[in-house]
Amino acid sequence: MRFFPETIYWRLVSPILVVGLLLVALISLIVPTMTEQTATRAALLHGTELLLHTRDRLENSIQSGTTKSASEILAELPEYSVSKADFLTIQAKDFNSGTNIVPDSFQREAWSTLTGNSNDVHSELNVIGSRYIYRIATKDRVLGSLLEIRLDVTRNFQGNSFPTWALIAGVLAGILMLLLCAHLGARALADPLQTLALAFRSLSEKGDLSAGSHVSPTSAQEIRRLTKAFQLFREREKDRHDLTDEIKRLAFFDPLTGLANRTRFLHHLKHHLDETREMTISPMVVLFDIDRYRDINDTFGHEAGDAVLRVLADRLRTLDAAHVRAARYGEDTFALLCLIEWGQSEDERMKLVERVRSLLSHRIHYDHQSIQLTACFGLSWAPDHGSHADALITAAHIALDKAKCQGRDSAMSYSRELANEAQNRITIVQDLKSALNQRRLQPFFQPQFDIASGRLIGAEALIRWPRFDGTFVPPGVFIPVAEQAQLITPIGQFMIDQVCASAAQWQAQGVKVPRLAINISALHFAEENVADAVKQAIARHEIPAELLEIEITESAMSQRIETVMDSLSELQKLGVEIALDDFGTGYSSLSYLQQLPLNRLKIDQSFIKEMSSSRSAQIVKTIIGLGRSMNLSVLAEGIENEAQADHLLELGCREGQGYHFAKPMPPDEFLAFIQDEQMRDADSQADLVRQIKSVSPHMSAVNGR
């Protein structure tokens, strides 16, 4: 049961009140007892002194022969009138039967107690009505009788009640004063605590700092709630600090590798550029990309790719920390900030690249797999290539892009020529996007022939970009830029649609359309489902799937091989033929050749051009033999003269294309070319029929003979 309201005020005041009441109760119980003990002790001392004095005088009287009794001796004492004592003498014989004196229980107990101890006294306090009688007894040492004195100590007990009540009243007054002070102190403390408690609770629960200016009375649980609220607030503050630290870490450090991220790298670069502006120290920026990093993810999995990045980051930390700062700048791009002296040659600056190459040369082992890394590097330094961080980063990016164009494990320093090339690439990208949106790109068709008969068997669709002046942007100029700018996929989609549209138009005109080959970039396979795109185009233009052939290069195998194979198999089941273009120039062709669903191998024109050499001729012969052994058609590209065509025919290659037969031509010209070829075929067949008919009568006559 709760006797006090559950408020902070009463929690502070009630203990004082309870303690005060307990003190009053204790005083009421203890003080009378102590007073009684004090009065009893005083009566005992006084009575004992009086009794022993009387006993001594009585013994002296008996020894001197004086006939005074104990009462007479007692009456002579000046203390007698004050003490109002009764003195009784009981002889030893009176304790036996036959006398008129009958000892009471006190006297018997005293006689028994004092026997053998005549120097002791025996005492007892008796309450008779409203009177307090103190009885004290001893034995004399001459006659052996019991001497008893009775003292009326009622006044002593009654006189001590006033101090008791006075003490209780004083205690009550002190408690009241203490309660008053406690009341004032509790009120002064409770109100701020209420406000503070509500503020803490609102802050911890709602995050509202404005709460607590006006509050209602707070419950007694508020102290505990305040404690909990403060603990919660402290925990949240700790979490907030931890979160702040984590935000700072995420804002300035890469969570995977623990290296500085792009933001922190730029901060350090700007800081060192400002510091070294008037010094002989030149900050140098090195950006490098891991070659074919996507292959690591696709082949071994993303966990392996992450492990490679962590190992590489640990190795970069071994570089001279005083002069080199490493950062992860992108997915597989790392940045190095190097502080070197002005005037160093480019070869000296390249020493850092060699150190990084040395770190990369050690194979990385993951899950029983050994991974060898290479990288392409781009370098720029202040003040030659810029005095601001953005300029140096841009310059290093330009150099890195150029290095990647040169192939794996390349390094390039920034130069003005590279900047001009980069600007040209930007212009090409912008113009190419505009041409693609305005559908100004065109498919050109280069016919393909049976080398022996000269019969048209197909055509390869090639992308062309006409300028406004009637000239064309060379494919070797804009195709690499389109791949870098991720425009090759929409270009491929455009070519699929245009080729299918041309085939549908020609069929509608009654032309027998030959097989049409479309080049699909490796990036197109990585970014889009090619099979779906082809099927949708076939359905949209309502042409037979057998009219199309999809050409892929060996670089497509660098993508997810399972995805590529699934798309090719789906197209082949649909009736679309599959050709492997530029065969022999890739590094992985033989490892995937048996797995790919192929119909045709295309020998790269570089081998045809050098076929005069025995080595190139042997390579061409090997490719032709490989195609035959796998029951694949073999087509040679880039045939430029009759000698090459005859040599290929001798080696067993039946199909070819090149300027010797026909150049690429726009759709209208190719349509006319098809019609001419079909007319020539028709004329040839008619001539053949006439020849057969002219020979038939002669043969009949011969047979008749």
| Backbone phi and psi for residue 596, each to the nearest 5 degrees, phi listed first | -80, 140
421 pLDDT band, cuts 50/70/90, is confident
Q: Which of 556 and 462 is assigned the larger pLDDT? A: 462
Burial class (CB in 10 A: 0-12, 13-18, 19+), 3: exposed
Q: 209: helix, coil or strand? A: coil
Q: 371: helix, coil or strand? A: strand
656: β partners: 449, 636
Task: Give the residue-averaged pLDDT of 382-399.
Answer: 89
Cα–Cα distance measured from residue 689 to residue 30, given in angstroms and rounded to the nearest whole number: 150
Q: Can you read off the two tokens belonging to residue 48?
A: 């004992």
Task: Give the residue-averaged pLDDT of 8-12.
Answer: 69
Q: Which of 403 and 582 is assigned the larger pLDDT? A: 403
Cα–Cα distance measured from residue 94 to residue 88, given in angstroms and rounded to the nearest whole number: 12
Cα–Cα distance measured from residue 366 to residue 368, given in angstroms and rounded to the nearest whole number: 6
Q: What does pTM read for this prediction?
A: 0.56
570 pLDDT band, cuts 50/70/90, is very high
Q: 636: helix, coil or strand? A: strand
What's the Cα-to-Cα distance from 37 to each of 32, 33, 34, 171, rounded to whole Å? Answer: 8, 6, 5, 22
Whether the predicted pLDDT of 600 surpasses 70: yes
Pick the range with the lowest mean pLDDT from 164-168, 385-389, 673-677: 164-168
Cα–Cα distance measured from residue 350 to residue 413, given in angstroms and rounded to the nearest whole number: 9
196-249 pLDDT, tens digit per residue, is 666 666 665 655 544 444 444 445 455 566 667 766 777 777 788 788 777 877
Burial class (CB in 10 A: 0-12, 13-18, 19+), 211: middle
Query: What is the model's pLDDT at position 601?
Result: 92
- CA 110, distance to chain mean position in Å, is 95
CB 492 within 8 A of CB 436: no
634-673 pLDDT, tens digit per residue, is 999 999 999 999 999 999 999 999 999 999 999 999 999 9
CB 614 within 8 A of CB 595: no
- CA 354, distance to chain mean position in Å, is 35
Whether the predicted pLDDT of 461 surpasses 90: yes
The count of C-alpha atoms lying within 13 angstroms of the C-alpha of 390, restricted to the half-sphere facing its C-beta, is 0
- As a whole number of Å, the CA-based R_g of the chain is 60
Query: What is the model's pLDDT at position 501?
Result: 96
Torsion 211-214-216-221 (CA) sign: positive
- The widest CA-to-CA distance across the chain, in whole angstroms, is 214
End-to-end CA distance of the chain: 144
Whether the predicted pLDDT of 81 surpasses 50: no
Cα–Cα distance measured from residue 262 to residue 656, given in angstroms and rounded to the nearest whole number: 52
- CA 81, distance to chain mean position in Å, is 103
Cα–Cα distance measured from residue 183 to residue 568, given in angstroms and rounded to the nearest whole number: 91
Cα–Cα distance measured from residue 245 to residue 241, given in angstroms and rounded to the nearest whole number: 6
Query: Can you list the alpha helix ranges (DSSP code H) found in 407-529?
Result: 416-437, 475-484, 488-508, 522-527
101-119 pLDDT, tens digit per residue, is 677 888 888 888 887 665 6
Number of neighbours of residue 629 by Cβ within 10 angstroms: 8
Task: Give the residue-averaged pLDDT of 82-97.
Answer: 50
**DSSP letters spanning 158-171:** HHTHHHHHHHHHHH
Query: What is the model's pLDDT at position 702?
Result: 44
Q: Supply the mean pLDDT for the chain.
A: 80
Whether the predicted pLDDT of 98 surpasses 60: no
Number of neighbours of residue 31 by Cβ within 10 angstroms: 19
CB 371 within 8 A of CB 364: yes
507-551 pLDDT, tens digit per residue, is 999 999 999 999 998 888 877 889 999 999 999 999 999 999 999
Closest among 79, 85, 72 to 149, alpha carbons compared: 85
Whether the predicted pLDDT of 262 surpasses 70: yes
Amino acid letter, residue 610: E
Cα–Cα distance measured from residue 517 to residue 600, given in angstroms and rounded to the nearest whole number: 11
| Backbone phi and psi for residue 376, each to the nearest 5 degrees, phi listed first | -105, 140
Cα–Cα distance measured from residue 152 to residue 133, given in angstroms and rounded to the nearest whole number: 5
Q: Which of 277 and 254 is assigned the larger pLDDT? A: 254
| Backbone phi and psi for residue 146, each to the nearest 5 degrees, phi listed first | -90, 125
Cα–Cα distance measured from residue 88 to residue 69, given in angstroms and rounded to the nearest whole number: 10
Q: Can you read off the two tokens belonging to residue 486?
A: 């991720």
Query: Considering the chain, what percentage of its residues have pLDDT values greater than 70?
Result: 78
Closest among 2, 337, 22, 373 to 175, alpha carbons compared: 22
- CA 566, distance to chain mean position in Å, is 36
